Amino acid sequence: MSTPAHAPFSTCDFCDVHKNDQSGDFRVLPPVFKDFGGLKSFMGPVYTVQCFEDNTFVKQAVDSQGWIDTPTGRVAQVLVVDGGASLRRALLGGNLAAAAARNGWAGVLIDGCVRDLAELEQQQVGIRALAPMPLPTEKRQQGLVQLPVRIQGVWVRPGEWLYADCDGVVVSSKPLM
């Protein structure tokens, strides 16, 4: 396993600290996401795509620069894709995963499916999704970017911070470290 490009963190430790948070700033995603990427833990500010069985805007995102410059330095973003939890088409495969790694994305979390599993695990990027599905999408140019999305019933907003490790995935409106 390769070294992640971030300081070590633990989603369990975050939950110990924030488990009584009533503000809604701290959220835990349901444990339905499987790990398909070469990076087992990843974190970063969120960029969102909403689409349904059409990965036009997923491709556009991973083909673009994945990192942003902030006052405290350069940070790699996490692409969060609200794919409507469709199990009928794959929103990301080997080519798009390679583009995400090449363009500096920290990770991709998809409420939907992925394909080309043998290629995904070779890429130095985090990838979480519901399941493998060999069927690709049609690219119909339909989708939305950078809007609040609901992932498995949990709101995730552009610019919020997502942390994923072997125990799970948490989202926070403020950085946790």
Ligand X SMILES: O=C([O-])CC(=O)C(=O)O
Q: In the bound complex, what is the minimum distance in angstroms from residue 165's beta carbon to ligand X?
A: 25
Between residues 116 and 160, which has the closer beta carbon with respect to ligand X?
Answer: 116
Per DSSP, the residues of the chain read -PPPSS----HHHHHHHHTT--SSSEEE--S-PEE-SS-S-EEEEEEEEE-SS--HHHHHHHTS--EEEETTEEEE-EEEEE-TT-SSSEEE-HHHHHHHHHTT--EEEEESEE--HHHHTTSSSEEEESEE---B----S--EESS-EEETTEEE-TT-EEEEETTEEEEESS---
How many other CB atoms sit within 10 Å of the CB of residue 158? 15
Residues 77-96, one symbol each (x = binds ligand X by CB under 6 A, - = not), give ---------------xxxxx
Q: Which residue is nearest to ligand X (CB)?
A: 93
Q: In the bound complex, what is the minimum distance in angstroms from residue 141's beta carbon to ligand X?
A: 13
Q: In the bound complex, what is the minimum distance in angstroms from residue 138's beta carbon to ligand X?
A: 9
Between residues 106 and 110, which has the closer beta carbon with respect to ligand X?
Answer: 110
Contacting ligand X within 87-146 (CB under 6 A): 92-96, 115-116, 136-137
Q: In the bound complex, what is the minimum distance in angstroms from residue 94's beta carbon to ligand X?
A: 4
Residues 6-45, one symbol each (x = binds ligand X by CB under 6 A, - = not), give ----------------------------------------
Residues that bind ligand X (CB under 6 A): 55, 92-96, 115-116, 136-137
